[in-house]
Amino acid sequence: MVFCYIEITILLFSVFLENQTNPPLMKALKFVFRSVIAVTFAFLCSSLSCDILDKVDDVSFDVKLTHTFNADEKTDSKGAPVPYSKVETLDATQNTDFNKYKSNIKEITVKSVTYVVSGYKADGKVLFSDGTAKFSALGVNASPFATAALEFKDIQEAATSGTVYTLNIDQTGLNAIATQLKDVSLVQITSSGILSKTPVAFSVLVTVECTAKASPL
């Protein structure tokens, strides 16, 4: 479209020059006009080339960032409920692709956060209630920017079934996790709840599924 406008402008100006009777003026106008057209054309080509190259060079890739919580409560509570809380850090640089492009990442989109329970060990059934997962920046006093309920109740059943649970985090929370990953590659995750009794041991694998966009290496 831009080039069509240039062609029309050239045509109209040519008609204008043909109707001029002052040779020196015509010569000067032709020089000025050709210079303006040349500079404009060069600028447009440069701008279009840069835009195209930027789009072509960007690298987009899917990445799964994982962290495993290992719960191992050895104290015998004699059948009494026990509060449980654990704070750990998901390190995105543990993923090979993320670590490769971490300095060049322009944008991260978090699509979902899931978890799977496994490795259950206990004498009989142990239940887990009032479970929550909180995501924040690093630090003891860091305020969570995303919070979701942990849905499983019967730990043994969850571990045996291999069910993949999805945390119910709204878009604002997912965006906050993405920003934290892009800025520092680390997200603090706090899991808490109440165990119906101890001892008990089990693992929870947390997976943050993302799409990342990065400039070329």
Q: Would you give the end-to-end CA distance of the chain in angstroms? A: 34
* CB 199 within 8 Å of CB 122: yes
High-pLDDT (> 90) share of the chain, %:
72
Q: Where are the domains of the chain?
A: 2-57, 59-214
| Cα-based distances in Å from 146 to 134, 135, 167, 173, 203 | 6, 5, 10, 5, 22
- Rank 13-22, 25-34, 186-195 by mean pLDDT and report only the highest: 186-195
* CB 169 within 8 Å of CB 34: no
* Residue 147 dihedral angles phi and psi, to the nearest 5°: -135, 140
Which positions ≥6 away from 178 have C-beta within 8 Å? Answer: 108, 109, 110, 210
Least confident of 38-42, 68-72, 74-78, 107-111: 38-42
Q: Contacts for 74-78 with beta carbons within 8 Å, 24 or more apart? A: 74/198, 74/199, 75/198, 75/199, 76/198, 76/199, 77/195, 77/197, 77/198, 78/197
Q: Which fold has domain 59-214?
A: Jelly Rolls (2.60.120)
- 21 vs 126: which has the higher pLDDT: 126
Give the alpha-carbon dihedral of 202, 193, 95, 58, to 10 degrees.
Answer: 150
Q: Indicate whether 35 pLDDT > 80.
A: no
Looking at residue 206, its amino acid is V
High-pLDDT (> 70) share of the chain, %:
74
The confidence score (pLDDT) of residue 21 equals 59
The confidence score (pLDDT) of residue 217 equals 87
pTM value? 0.75
Band of residue 1 on the pLDDT scale cut at 50, 70, 90: low
